[in-house]
Amino acid sequence: MLSHLSIRNYLLVESVELDFAPGLTVLTGETGAGKSILIDALALALGDRAEGGVVRKDASRAEITAEFAIDGLPALAAWLDEAGYATDDESVILRRVIEAGGRSRAFINGSAAPLMQLKDAAEFLLDIHGQHAHHALLRPQAQREVIDAYAGAQQQAAAVSAAWHAWQHARQLRLACESHGQARQIEREGLTLAVEELRALGDDLPRWDDIQIEHARLAHVTALIEGSQALIQGLDDGDAAVSSQLGEMSARLDTMQAMDDSLTEIGTLLNSASANLAEAVHALRRYADNLNLDPERLTVLDRLLSDMHLLARKHRVQPDALAGLLEQFQTRLAELVASDDLEALQASEDATWAQYKKGAERLTTQRRKAAAALSKQVTDAMHELALAGGQLEIQLLPVSEPRAHGLEDVSFLVASHPGLPPGPLAKVASGGELSRISLAIQTALSGVAGVPTLIFDEVDVGIGGSVAEAVGRRLAKLGETRQVLVITHLPQVAARGTQHLRVSKQANGGFVSSNIETLDADTRVEEIARMLGGLKITTTTRQHAAEMLAG
C-alpha cells in the first residue's frame, strides 16, 4: 500500500508531502489545476522515463519519493533480499532524482539502483489504469494473468511453465544426440585417448613442483656433495676451521669480560653465533649423508618431465595444469557417455512431455471456465458504466506449438458500443472506456490477490448521473480489498472516497504553483459543492454536498 509520497520541484509543484490511507482516495480540483501531476510524479518513482523539462523553473533538480507498506507481500520481500535491498521494517522506499539537464538517478531503500530494478519492484506494488505506460491490461501476458488470477490458477500456470522448460531441455538433449552423433563420437574418442595418456602419468601428475625439485637435486648431486664437504671442512674439520677460531675468540672475550662487564652483551652474541654455527654444521652433515648418486632415478625423472612437457604442449597448458585438465576431460567424457544413450533420452523426453501436456490441458480447462464467467461479469459491469450494449469477449486461441504459458493465447476483445464487432482492447477502446473496462475487471478480481494499490485516471470521462454513481460504488467496493486512488471530476465519485485530496493552483511572486492538500470534513463539503455548482456555491448546493457525503 502507498503510505507516503514526497514531491519536490516537479513541474508546478514546489514541495508536497502526502500521507495516504487505505480504501478509496479521490483526487479533485479545477480544470488545469494539475490533477495528473501526482500520478505522473508517482509514475517516475516507479521507473517511468524522465526528462529534464519536468524540473521546476529555477530549481536544479526534481525529487520524488514514494514509500509503500509491504506487509503481506512476501514475494516482494524475497525479491528485495535477493537484489540486495532488504529492509528490516515492513516498508520499501522508491526514490527518483531528475537533474535539470535530464540525467536521472534511482534509489531503492536508499541504495542506488538501475532503473529496470525500480520498474521490477513497482510491478509488485501498483498499477495505473488510464493513459499511462503502467496500463498493463493491454499486454497479452497481463490478459493471460488476469484469467489465471480469476481462475485461481497461478500455481498451475507456474507448474506448466516449469514442465515446459523441463520438456524443452530433455528434447534438446535428444536432438543433440541425434544430429551431432558423429561429432560427439569423435569428441568422445579423442577425450578417451587424452584421459588414458594423462592417467599413464599416475600419481606423479599432480606432483609437478615436487618432481622438478627432486630432478634438480639429482642432476646436481655431485656438486652438492662436494660443496657440502667443503663447507663442513671449512666450518668445523680443518686446522683453520671457523668453529675453532670462534672458540678461541670466545675464550679471549671471556677474559676481557672479567675486566669489563660492559662486554656482557657482546659475549652473549658471540656465544649465540657459536651455537648457530654448531647447528648449521650438524644440519650440513645430515644433508650430506642423504645425498646419493642415483642415475636410475634421474633417468626416470628425465622421462617423466619430458612426458609432462609433451602433453602440456599438446593441450596448450602449463605442466602444473595437467591434473586439473584430466578432471575436466573425465567430467566431459562422463557427460558424453550419459548423453549418448538415445533410448534413455527419448524416454526422458516422453515423460516430461506427458507431464507438461497433462498440466497444460488442466490449465486450459480452468481458463476456459474462467473466461466465460469473467466475460459475462465484465460485460454486465460495462452496461452499468456508460458502455451499454458493449461486451467483453475473451478468446482462447490454440497456439501453433506448445508454449511455456500453455496450449493457448489469451486475447481480450471488446465492443464498446452495440453493433460494433469485437476488436483488440488496445485498438478499440478509448482512454476513458479502457479505464472503465479496467475498473470492471479489477472489481471482478477484487477478491483475488494482486497488486495492493490501483490508480484510475479518466475513469469517469463522458459520464454522469446514475452512471457516475455506479462508478463511485464500484470504486468504493474495490477499495474494500485494495487501496484505490482515482482522479475524478464527478461529485458522485468524489463523495465515495474515504480520503479526499484537492489540487489547486496558486500564484506567488510571478510563479504559479500547484498545491495538493488533504481535506477534512468541512472542506470536503465545500469541494463537493464546488463540483456540483461551479463558481457559485449556495446553501442548497452545500446541503446537497453534505447529503452525498452522508449517503
pLDDT of residue 348: 92
% of residues, the chain, pLDDT over 90: 26
Task: Give the pTM.
Answer: 0.59
pLDDT at residue 462 above 80? Answer: no
Could you report the per-residue pLDDT of 468-520, keeping only the tens digit for each?
888 888 888 888 888 999 988 889 999 999 999 998 887 776 667 788 889 99
Q: How far out from the chain centre does Cα 215 lie? A: 54
Cα separation, 481 vs 442, in Å, equals 11
For residue 535, name the pLDDT band (cuts at 50, 70, 90): low
Beta bridge mates, 61: 99
Buried b (16+ CB within 10 A) or exposed e, 496-530: bbebbbbbeeeeeeeeebbbbeebeeeebbebbbb
pLDDT at residue 353 above 90? Answer: yes
pLDDT of residue 162: 96
pLDDT at residue 363 above 90? Answer: yes
Write out the E strands in 130-282.
Answer: none
In the numeric block, which cell numbers belong to residue 169? Answer: 531441455
% of residues, the chain, pLDDT over 70: 93
pLDDT at residue 134 above 50? Answer: no
Buried b (16+ CB within 10 A) or exposed e, 36-58: bbbbbbbbbbbbbebeeebbbee
Q: What is the H or E stretch that residue 455 is in?
A: strand 453-457
Cα separation, 475 vs 486, in Å, equals 8
pLDDT at residue 15 above 50? Answer: yes
Please report how many Cα atoms fall inside a 13 Å half-sphere around the Cα of residue 469, on the Cβ side.
5
pLDDT of residue 181: 64
Q: What are phi and psi of 93, to 5 degrees?
A: -115, 120
User: How confident is the prediction for the chain on average, in pLDDT?
Assistant: 84
Segments making up each domain of the chain, as ranges: 186-338
**Could you give the angle at which helices 431-444 and 342-384 cross, rounded to 10 degrees?**
110
**Quick one: average pLDDT of 255-275?**
86
Cα separation, 108 vs 441, in Å, equals 31
pLDDT of residue 339: 66
Q: What is the DSSP string of 3-40?
A: EEEEEEEETTEEEEEEE--SSEEEEEE-TTS-HHHHHH
